[in-house]
């Protein structure tokens, strides 16, 4: 397993070792001891999966503390452009985002600590997206940031195609208007 730190503290790209041959492939998508040794100490308690079509953008979603969630995200099938935005006040990268392509072929994962908004756009005909969470979903603490916020300037890699977005995400506030209660712990 190879772990790469991004320019945003705590946000990690994970490349698991994939054993592939003529029969297919095998890899460990989660191994608590190995991930803990790599600095990921989250205890995951909920797994989620979604399937979406090309052009869908889901996000930017997060939950306020104490219901904030760390996530370990990956794509089972297809390809997405995955984005995490730092919402931790006092962080040297507050308000900055990181994005990368995740797909079913490379098996790359992204570890997103608590205090981030998260979203992805679907680049393939369909994509099956899976993620582990270290806290349960809580409707009352759920928040969103508008995916088209010009202050963030996220390129969702959809070219000239209009994104397919839920009404909730379309009406989400801009970053500067969003409620957030996260603090950076160096």
Q: Who contacts 181 (Cβ-Cβ below 8 Å, separation ≥6)?
A: 64, 65
pLDDT of residue 185: 86
Contact between 131 and 74 under an 8 Å Cβ cutoff? The reply is yes
Contact between 98 and 73 under an 8 Å Cβ cutoff? The reply is no
pLDDT digits (tens, 9 = 90+) for 140-175: 999 999 999 999 999 999 999 999 999 999 999 999
Q: Cα dist. 138→28, 133, 135 in Å?
A: 29, 12, 9
Question: Is the backbone of residue 157 left (phi > 0), alpha (psi -120 to 50) or beta?
Answer: left
Nearest Cα to 100, choosing from 175, 154, 30? 154
For the chain, how many residues are written? 186
pLDDT digits (tens, 9 = 90+) for 20-73: 999 999 988 999 999 999 889 999 999 999 999 999 999 999 999 999 999 999
Could you give all domains of the chain from N- to C-terminal order, each with its CATH number? 2-183 (2.60.120.10)
Q: Beta strands 19-21 and 12-15: pairing type?
A: unpaired
**How buried is 2 (Cβ within 10 angstroms: 0-12 exposed, 13-18 middle, 19+ buried)?**
exposed
Q: How many CA atoms lie within 13 A of 146 on its CB side?
A: 15
> 136: how many CB neighbours lie within 10 A of its CB?
10
Average pLDDT over all residues of the chain:
96
pTM of the full predicted structure? 0.95
Enzyme catalytic residues: 61, 131
* Res 186 pLDDT > 80: no
Give the span between the Cα atoms of 103 and 46, in whole angstroms.
21
């Amino acid at each position: 397993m190879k772990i790469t730190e991004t320019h945003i503290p705590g946000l990690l790209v994970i490349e698991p070792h994939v054993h592939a041959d003529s029969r297919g492939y095998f890899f460990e998508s989660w191994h608590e001891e190995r991930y803990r040794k790599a600095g990921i100490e989250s205890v995951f308690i909920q797994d989620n999966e979604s399937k979406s079509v090309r052009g869908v953008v889901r996000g930017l979603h997060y939950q306020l503390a104490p219901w904030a969630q760390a996530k370990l995200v990956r794509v089972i099938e297809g390809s997405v452009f995955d984005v995490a935005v730092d919402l931790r006040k006092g962080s040297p990268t507050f308000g900055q985002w990181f994005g990368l392509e995740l797909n079913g072929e490379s098996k790359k994962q992204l570890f997103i600590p608590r205090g981030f908004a998260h979203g992805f756009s679907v680049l393939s005909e369909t994509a099956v997206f899976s993620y582990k969470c270290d806290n349960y979903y809580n409707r009352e603490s759920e928040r969103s940031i508008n995916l088209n916020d010009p202050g963030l300037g996220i390129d969702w890699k959809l070219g000239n195609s209009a994104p397919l977005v839920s009404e909730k995400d379309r009406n989400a506030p801009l970053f500067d208007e969003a409620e957030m209660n996260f603090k950076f712990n160096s």
